Structure 1
Amino acid sequence: MSVVGLTTPTVSPSRQRLVLLVLLTAGFTLAVDFSILNVALPTIGQDVGLPLAHLQWIATAFALCAAGFTLLFGRVADLFGRKRLFLIGMAVLGIASLAGGLATTPTILIAARIAQGLATAAVTPAALSLLTTSFPEGPLRERALSLNGALMAAGFTTGAILGGLLTDILSWRWAFFINIPVAAMVLLLGPHTLVEGRPKDRLRLDVWGALTATGGLLALVYGLTRVGETSWTDAHALIALAAAVVLLVSFLLVERRVQDALVPLPVLRRPSVRWGNVAGLLAFATETSLVFLLTLYLQKVLGYSPLTTGLSFAVLGIGTVLGGLVASKVLSRIGSRKTIVTGFVLQAAATVPLVLLGTSSSWMVLLLITTFVGGVANLIAIVGFMVTATSNLPNEEQGLATGLTTMSQQVGITMGIPVMSAIATAAMHGADGPDQVINGVTTAIWVNAGLCVLGAVLTGLLLRPAKGGE
């Protein structure tokens, strides 16, 4: 890869506040989109004529594009302009949301979700790289990333609650329409607020790297999603996962030979990038899959409705917001490596007591307390991962770095649920009574806690501290 400088004008404190407003608003909205439709899927299927067997494609179409294209768009942001890609992505999000809200056929609805996923893949790494280049490395950036993590976590939880409320009170269509005024506000303020950093030399996009990386990620996400819907023996899932391995290995071979690589291999050799992203993948995989397991418990064992289940996770949402807010203080005191380790250890300690859950609703007290603590711990680990994986890199590689962190997030979210689902299903031995569900859920919770411990061990042993810090 040729060395390319990136000119990024200095951002004044007053403009930094506006930058935060624009970027955090966009990030929160995209996080809401991940979960806002989940509780409304049966109603949506009835209204647009989508059979029950194909309902999952409303979520899968979004997840495939959001995860599959994020690495490509992260690098495109570096090469052709982060501000430009961010604004284009928000415009696509607004148009897609309007189309989805007005959809009367499955084809239009799925197309709208695909467009929303592509918008997410473009906006998320572009927004993160705009944020990291608008704030100098150190306490200011750490506080900005902490706020970003807090609002994104709040968005996931808010989406589940808001989706149920909108569907019950108004219509599921408002789950789409709600994005339109947000996109309009961002498009109004963004051009005058965000600062574009432009490369001094124009590079060529690594086409073969883009094709193999995007194809590999699409195959990986599809295979994992298929596993979650069927089983690990499903032929389509196994073919997709095998194709993912072939394409991703081909991607690494391509990157060794091209001059302007999509992902320069020296960047991946940095411990902060490599092990930081491993930690991020585990952080997202464990917490999102735990929510899935507890959803099974709340609905299959305690008999809660989807809306009540969503409201039960409000305490978790509060915990994640608090975790995001205190993470910068933890980082400034103990450094990023110890922050990640501390987050994982606390998350494991909060997860283990959940194996005691029983068939009585009195166990909700334990669930609420432990998920609150686990939410705080998880966000501390996530903010530590974000700071670690984007630090000590030049501005011209921030889009790549944030593309990698976004990819770790998306793949972690996608990977955790089918893995934990398979473990829980195997422990249930084909039965779905309350006792069998509890047995399956608690078995998977043990594994979930073990992955938290693994994240702490790998980070503590393999993540080398940067110069001058932990």
Structure 2
Amino acid sequence: MTAVLETAPARMSGRQRTTLLLLLGAQFMLAVDFSILNVALPAIGAGLHFRLADLQWVATAFALPAAGFTLLFGRIGDLFGRRRLFLAGLALLVVASLLGGLAQTQAQLLTGRVLQGLATAMATPAALSLLTTAFPEGPLRDRALGLNGALLSGGFTTGALVGGLLADVLSWRYAFLLNVPVALIVLAVAPFVVESGRSPQRPRLDVPGAATVTAGLLLLVYGLSQGAHLGWTNPVVLGALAAGAALLAAFWRIEARAAAPLAPISILRRPTVRWGNLGGLLVFAMGSAVVFLSTIYLQDVLGYPPLATGLAFGIPGVAAVFAGVLGGRLIGRFGRRVTLVGGLAVQGLSFATLALLGDARVMYWPLLAALAVGFFGHVAAIVAYTVTATSGLPDGEQGLATGLSTLTQQVALTIGIPLMSAVAAAGPSVLGGLHAAVLADAAITLVGAFAIHRGLRRVV
């Protein structure tokens, strides 16, 4: 870390450090909130008497608004003030978490999850754009984004650990209520520390573009999230995917002609935005799928309980945090392209070795070693993709850029697990299906890394 500071053109000011602490704390809380609920799903189902077939709606109710409204809110932050949007998102998160934690019926809990998804769509891109505009492009921003990647991964890991503990020892309700005090602290301090982040230009909102992209993303995410549950040939799934694709195509045409587009085509066509977000799609989709597959392996093949399964991700979580701390230094030494492609390659190759694991309990330790190496590459790639996808843009377009990168993350988390679950389900046995799925996961990651290497070869 010292080396990063020495090569930076300037040290962080006191205001920048406080801003960094607040925004990273909020991002960490949102990451914990995402993973803690996934681990607590069985306990939630038992507590409110969800049928097994309906339990997936606890996750889907969050995923739909979280992905569907992210791009819209990212641009709204540019136009009307990122700090204002960030604080509104956190306030909504408090209300949603209280509603979910105190829910007595399934409808109340699902309403809380929808509101949590909306709050995430508001707060996450706003926090990231406030982070990128608080630091000039270069080593200081790279370091801030590296710490953001470290805490993002650390939040997912901590959420898995805490979720298992709460489900086994206390109550699933604390999975909702845990982030309320953290959000209240950030709400109290942020107005006095964080800059408003409002664009100096007169705000104009592209209503046709906003309507088509939001509806298209909602339908696309719905189709992807329901494909594994209803079947990929189900008419509802195919209809949702087709309608979503048609609306997104209409959005592209609207943006090409709009006087004040929601997402200017010039930005969407930038190689750094395009290839950087492809890297983000791969790293999150394939990484989250391996976490899911590893959970199935630990519980259904090796026979470990939920708490031991959550603890298994502790060592990989430490490796991930270490990668985030070093992320800015890696980019400074090797560049964005090499760090992104190298991180994806490390992730893919490490996760491919999981196909060598058998059904003996001693496999627990080789699994942890492979996950630790893979998570190091995973977070290094997260830092590099975030830097790549948001570099070279003026501050007035950072909300859009971070909205796109956050959208990429949300869509990736939606599609990775269903796709690899389908591969695993087609196997001759649980272990055989898991082997096939991790090999497919690794192959997609490595092919994507090669494509990104060629795509960014003349750019970064």
Bin the TM-score by the shorter chain: over 0.9
Q: Give the conservation status (yes or no) of the 8 Å contact 1:62–1:116.
A: yes
Does the residue aligned with 1:261 lie in a helix, a strand or coil?
A: coil
**Residue 4 (structure 2) aligns with:** none
C-alpha displacement of 1:349: 2.0
C-alpha displacement of 1:465: 5.2
Q: Give the conservation status (yes or no) of the 8 Å contact 1:47–1:104.
A: no
Which whole-Å deviations, capped at 9, do the CAs of 1:125-165 have from their partners, x for residues lacking one? 00000000000000000000000000011111111111111
**Residue 23 (structure 1) aligns with:** 23
Corresponding letter in the other structure for 2:426 = A
Distance 2:228 2:347 in 1: 24
Whether 2:443 is the aligned partner of 1:450: answer yes
C-alpha displacement of 1:42: 2.6
Q: Give the conservation status (yes or no) of the 8 Å contact 2:346–2:377.
A: yes
Classify 1:299/1:235 alpha carbon distance in 2 versus 1 (closer, same or farther; 3 Å): farther
Q: Give the conservation status (yes or no) of the 8 Å contact 1:74–1:399.
A: yes
Q: Give the conservation status (yes or no) of the 8 Å contact 2:12–2:140.
A: no
Distance 2:328 2:448 in 1: 20
5+ long unaligned stretches in structure 1? 1-10, 429-435
C-alpha displacement of 1:48: 2.4
C-alpha displacement of 1:213: 0.7
Corresponding letter in the other structure for 1:269 = R
C-alpha displacement of 1:229: 2.1
Corresponding letter in the other structure for 1:45 = G
**Residue 459 (structure 1) aligns with:** 452
Distance 1:44 1:447 in 2: 32
Whether 2:237 is the aligned partner of 1:237: answer yes
Distance 2:305 2:247 in 1: 42
Distance 1:135 1:255 in 2: 30
Q: Give the conservation status (yes or no) of the 8 Å contact 1:231–1:422.
A: no
TM-score w.r.t. the length of structure 1 is: 0.93
C-alpha displacement of 1:421: 1.0
Does the residue aligned with 1:393 lie in a helix, a strand or coil?
A: coil
**Residue 66 (structure 1) aligns with:** 66
Distance 2:168 2:296 in 1: 22
Distance 1:282 1:462 in 2: 15
- Quick check: 340-349 or 141-150, which moved more? 340-349
Distance 1:198 1:451 in 2: 39
**Residue 144 (structure 2) aligns with:** 144
Q: Give the conservation status (yes or no) of the 8 Å contact 1:232–1:422.
A: no
Q: Give the conservation status (yes or no) of the 8 Å contact 2:255–2:262.
A: yes
Which whole-Å deviations, capped at 9, do the CAs of 1:233-258 have from their partners, x for residues lacking one? 22221111111111111111111111
Distance 2:325 2:215 in 1: 37
Q: Give the conservation status (yes or no) of the 8 Å contact 1:65–1:117.
A: yes
| Mapping of residues 60-209 of structure 1, within 5 Å | 60-209=60-209
Does the residue aligned with 2:324 lie in a helix, a strand or coil?
A: helix
| Mapping of residues 69-468 of structure 1, within 5 Å | 69-428=69-428, 436-464=429-457, 466=459
Distance 1:335 1:18 in 2: 28
Distance 2:371 2:339 in 1: 19
Which whole-Å deviations, capped at 9, do the CAs of 1:276-307 have from their partners, x for residues lacking one? 10111011111101111112211221122222
Q: Give the conservation status (yes or no) of the 8 Å contact 2:77–2:198.
A: no
Q: Percent identity?
A: 54
5+ long unaligned stretches in structure 2? 1-10
Corresponding letter in the other structure for 1:399 = G
Distance 1:277 1:440 in 2: 29
Distance 1:61 1:211 in 2: 20
Distance 1:216 1:385 in 2: 24
C-alpha displacement of 1:228: 2.3
Distance 1:197 1:86 in 2: 10
- Quick check: 84-93 or 239-248, which moved more? 239-248
Distance 1:173 1:48 in 2: 11
Count of residue pairs brought into register by the alignment: 451
C-alpha displacement of 1:369: 0.4
C-alpha displacement of 1:416: 0.9
C-alpha displacement of 1:464: 4.3
Which whole-Å deviations, capped at 9, do the CAs of 1:328-357 have from their partners, x for residues lacking one? 111010110011111112112211211111
Q: Give the conservation status (yes or no) of the 8 Å contact 1:62–1:113.
A: yes
Corresponding letter in the other structure for 2:424 = A
Q: Give the conservation status (yes or no) of the 8 Å contact 2:285–2:416.
A: yes
C-alpha displacement of 1:12: 7.0
Q: Give the conservation status (yes or no) of the 8 Å contact 1:220–1:241.
A: yes
**Residue 14 (structure 2) aligns with:** 14
C-alpha displacement of 1:426: 1.7
Distance 2:203 2:377 in 1: 41
Distance 1:364 1:457 in 2: 31
Give the alignment's Cα RMSD to 1 decimal.
1.5
Q: Give the conservation status (yes or no) of the 8 Å contact 2:91–2:187.
A: yes
Corresponding letter in the other structure for 2:16 = Q
Q: Give the conservation status (yes or no) of the 8 Å contact 1:100–1:173.
A: yes
C-alpha displacement of 1:27: 0.2
Corresponding letter in the other structure for 2:172 = W
C-alpha displacement of 1:47: 2.4
Q: Give the conservation status (yes or no) of the 8 Å contact 2:80–2:203.
A: no
Corresponding letter in the other structure for 1:452 = T
Distance 1:465 1:111 in 2: 47
Q: Give the conservation status (yes or no) of the 8 Å contact 1:39–1:307.
A: no
Does the residue aligned with 1:303 lie in a helix, a strand or coil?
A: coil
**Which ranges of 4 or more aligned residues in structure 1 deviate by more than 3 Å?**
none
Q: Give the conservation status (yes or no) of the 8 Å contact 1:298–1:309.
A: yes
Distance 1:363 1:417 in 2: 23
Q: Give the conservation status (yes or no) of the 8 Å contact 1:203–1:260.
A: no
Distance 2:125 2:80 in 1: 13
**Residue 433 (structure 1) aligns with:** none
Distance 1:212 1:224 in 2: 18
Distance 1:216 1:319 in 2: 37
Q: Give the conservation status (yes or no) of the 8 Å contact 1:341–1:457.
A: yes
Distance 2:12 2:41 in 1: 45
C-alpha displacement of 1:201: 2.6
